[in-house]
Structure 1
Amino acid sequence: MKVNKALVGLSIAGALLLSGCANKGNSGDSKVKQVGVLQVVQHPSLDKAYDGFIEGLKESGYTEGKNLKINYQNAQNSQDNLKSMSEKLVNDKSDLLLGIATPAAQSLANTTTTIPTVVTAVTDLKAAKLVKSNEKPGGNITGTTDMGPIEQQIALLLSIVPNAKTIGLMYNAGEANSKIQADQAEKLLKKAGVKVLIKTANTTNDVQQVTETLAGSTDGIYVPTDNTFASAAAIVGKVVKEKKIPLVAGALDQVKTGGLATVGIDYKALGVQTGKMAAKILDGKAKPAEMAVENPKELQLYINKDMAKALGIDPTKIKQPK
């Protein structure tokens, strides 16, 4: 039986080529990356942060269903859910974790010190004990802060009600991120010579009563980027509209649903920013310990014109403080 040497040679070459392709397919470069996501609760700001995160990854070369697998978990503001979901994401051996909002970030931090983790919609990573410093995190966590321009927001509210004697401040005292912002807002208001009336709500069930109390006793209300009040923004909006009380909130989405105005953060843009940080970690180009925490890159004045009309305020006269 005669053997065609040329054919044998081609067959061997083809086998080697296929073998090489198979080996390349198993390399770290083309491996499908698994990202575990834990979001504390569902509301527009956090939802947009998640959407932006996925967009940021895609812009950096990671597409879900192609070379990216997302395991998304939403705790619906339950501490028990945060704990069990964190454990699940860690046990699933994710390549990277994302924590959306301070409680979710802290839950992941308490569950793993080894899996690379990025966080977003966290007001102060250092105060939340997620990093050693914002410049050099030092551990397995980094990310983006949603610390808004509180000084501008308070100045905005006082420009809307220049003769205000009392300003209401409401938030969930159990949220570390909210407490930080509320304390800063209180200092700024007192410095401006305004009396501050503070009311807190532990759950969304308390929001209506707290809002009604402040709306009946103040000249204006400030709400920081608080997950409890953001989840009940529609309820807040209904009350302040009926009472005709101007409300400035920490986030754009809170104002769109239940406030008058803000100088706030675009949470989708913040999510994109976070996604690009995550991509650098997945690429092996950076480590969380050495990646500085990033501040929001985009701020904007937003005015709810429907609310302004209901309150009898000319929206063209609302200007962004310098």
Structure 2
Amino acid sequence: MWKKIVFLIIIFLIIVTLLTIKFSIKEQKKHYKLIAIATLMSHPALDAVIQNLKKELEMEGFVENKNVKYIIRNANGQIQLAANIANELSALNPDVIVAVTTPMSQAIVKVARCPVVFAAVTDPVGAGLVKSLDKCEKMITGTSDAWPYYDQLKLIKEITPKVKVLGVLYNPGEAASQYGIKKIRYYAPKLGFKLLEGAVSSTAEVYPVAQNLASRVDALFLSSDNTVISGVGAALKVAIEHKIPLYVGDSGTVAKGGLAAVSVGYPELGRETGKLVARVLRGERCIPVVVARGSEIYLNLKAAELMGVSIPKEIIKKAKKIYYEIQK
């Protein structure tokens, strides 16, 4: 008899607990907007996007733990995890999913049932996210960080005019890098560069591929994909060992030891992404994609010293920001 009573009490408590949890979730949804953020990995440029996105949303009135909650997932560079993260976040049915990087955005749009805002996607049309940059689509918008490749290659020529052979590291498996290498192949001959390409499929391959290129090139250049950018430390080690310049394409990687870059502003890209998310949370749909505009010069004088490069004074005067140390 007592066993039956205890059993019924346990069942009753379980039912009450489940109802309480269900009610709590409903109450949270009444008071909070749920924002899911998915990124492929962490590196300075992507971290700047997410940090400034959240800052912009706060300025727009969407304050964490007051009227919005964030769920953040990071694949830590493992592209194969993107699909799992996409399915997990889609199942939570958030008010909006922010997908950072091209591979993560591609995974999210395949399964999302809510609005999607992508960020730091080099070629949204080529990646199959949108049909056109000029026409809006109902459930997806975002920001593009297409690099100013001609200006970047021109800067290499201005800082190190003796560079003739340029070694380019890139991951052919990333859509952003496929776009980037096409641009580099197009502009390099026009500026008198011969290219030697080094393909990598993981961050671990950056060091050996850079080593293989180093004795045959006058400078190294990291393309616009997350794999090689995450391996900047390995590329920097090779550049210092061989006393050759290492050029990059974003300001965050200059801080990590890249010699120089003409960069779009990733903090500004984050703010623009935050504005798009705010518009979505207010119910707006069919918002055009925002393409980053920027051609600011970033320099690292410590890296220049270690690579044996003297940067012309006129370039230093034009720089938006100069780093005097290499950030860890």
Task: Place the TM-score, normalised by the shorter chain, in its bin.
Answer: 0.7 to 0.9
Q: Alignment partner of 1:142: what SS?
A: strand
Cα pair distance change 1:106/1:318, threshold 3 Å: farther
Task: Give the TM-score of the pair, scaled to structure 2.
Answer: 0.84
The answer to which of 100-109 and 259-268 deviates more is 259-268
Amino acid at match of 2:93: K
Amino acid at match of 1:283: R
Partner of 2:300: 304
Partner of 1:5: none
Partner of 1:225: 224
The alpha-carbon deviation at position 194 of structure 1 amounts to 2.2
Amino acid at match of 2:310: D
Verify the 8 A CA contact 2:200 2:206 in the aligned structure 1: yes
The count of aligned residue pairs is 292
Partner of 2:253: 254
The answer to which of 270-279 and 241-250 deviates more is 241-250
Counterpart Cα distance in 1 of 2:271 and 2:293 = 11
Match status 1:102 vs 2:87: no
Cα pair distance change 1:220/1:318, threshold 3 Å: farther
Verify the 8 A CA contact 2:75 2:82 in the aligned structure 1: yes
Amino acid at match of 1:103: P
Q: Alignment partner of 1:315: what SS?
A: coil
Partner of 1:115: 114
Cα pair distance change 1:79/1:228, threshold 3 Å: closer
Partner of 2:204: 205
Verify the 8 A CA contact 2:235 2:246 in the aligned structure 1: no
Q: Alignment partner of 2:188: what SS?
A: helix
Please, which runs of 5 or more residues in structure 2 have no aligned partner?
A: 1-26, 320-328
The alpha-carbon deviation at position 65 of structure 1 amounts to 0.5
Verify the 8 A CA contact 1:161 1:219 in the aligned structure 2: no
The alpha-carbon deviation at position 46 of structure 1 amounts to 1.0
Amino acid at match of 1:221: L
Partner of 1:3: none
Match status 1:34 vs 2:34: yes
Task: Give the TM-score of the pair, scaled to structure 1.
Answer: 0.86
The alpha-carbon deviation at position 82 of structure 1 amounts to 1.1
The alpha-carbon deviation at position 150 of structure 1 amounts to 0.9
Cα pair distance change 1:162/1:176, threshold 3 Å: same
Amino acid at match of 2:43: H
Cα pair distance change 1:238/1:194, threshold 3 Å: same
Counterpart Cα distance in 1 of 2:293 and 2:32 = 30
After superposition, what is the alpha-carbon deviation per residue over 1:232-281, rounded to whole angstroms, capped at 9, x for unaligned? 11111111112111122111112221310011122122111101111011
The alpha-carbon deviation at position 228 of structure 1 amounts to 0.7
| 1:5-20 to 2 correspondences below 5 Å | none
Q: Alignment partner of 1:106: what SS?
A: helix
Amino acid at match of 1:86: A
The alpha-carbon deviation at position 88 of structure 1 amounts to 1.0
CA RMSD of aligned residues (A): 2.0
Match status 1:242 vs 2:241: yes
Match 1:293 to one of 289, 292, 297:
289
Q: Alignment partner of 1:258: what SS?
A: coil
Verify the 8 A CA contact 1:167 1:220 in the aligned structure 2: yes
The alpha-carbon deviation at position 316 of structure 1 amounts to 4.5
The alpha-carbon deviation at position 104 of structure 1 amounts to 0.5
The alpha-carbon deviation at position 92 of structure 1 amounts to 0.4
Cα pair distance change 1:189/1:299, threshold 3 Å: closer
The alpha-carbon deviation at position 148 of structure 1 amounts to 1.6
The alpha-carbon deviation at position 84 of structure 1 amounts to 1.2
User: Comparing both chains, which one has the higher relative contact order based on Cα–Cα distances under 8 Å and sequence gaps of 6 or more?
Assistant: 1
The alpha-carbon deviation at position 297 of structure 1 amounts to 4.2
After superposition, what is the alpha-carbon deviation per residue over 1:161-212, rounded to whole angstroms, capped at 9, x for unaligned? 2132211111111111011011101211122232111111000111001111
Partner of 1:22: none
Please, which runs of 5 or more residues in structure 1 have no aligned partner?
A: 1-25
After superposition, what is the alpha-carbon deviation per residue over 1:18-37, rounded to whole angstroms, capped at 9, x for unaligned? xxxxxxxx8x9x73100111
Q: Alignment partner of 1:137: what SS?
A: coil
Amino acid at match of 1:46: L
Amino acid at match of 2:71: N
| Identical amino acids, percent of aligned pairs | 31
Partner of 1:193: 192
Counterpart Cα distance in 2 of 1:258 and 1:107 = 31
Counterpart Cα distance in 1 of 2:191 and 2:128 = 31
Counterpart Cα distance in 1 of 2:191 and 2:310 = 24
Q: Alignment partner of 2:34: what SS?
A: strand
Amino acid at match of 1:73: R
Amino acid at match of 2:304: A
The answer to which of 215-224 and 203-212 deviates more is 215-224
Amino acid at match of 2:154: A
Partner of 2:179: 180
Partner of 1:51: 51
Q: Alignment partner of 2:147: what SS?
A: coil
| 1:269-280 to 2 correspondences below 5 Å | 269-280=268-279
Verify the 8 A CA contact 1:207 1:236 in the aligned structure 2: yes
Verify the 8 A CA contact 2:97 2:117 in the aligned structure 1: yes
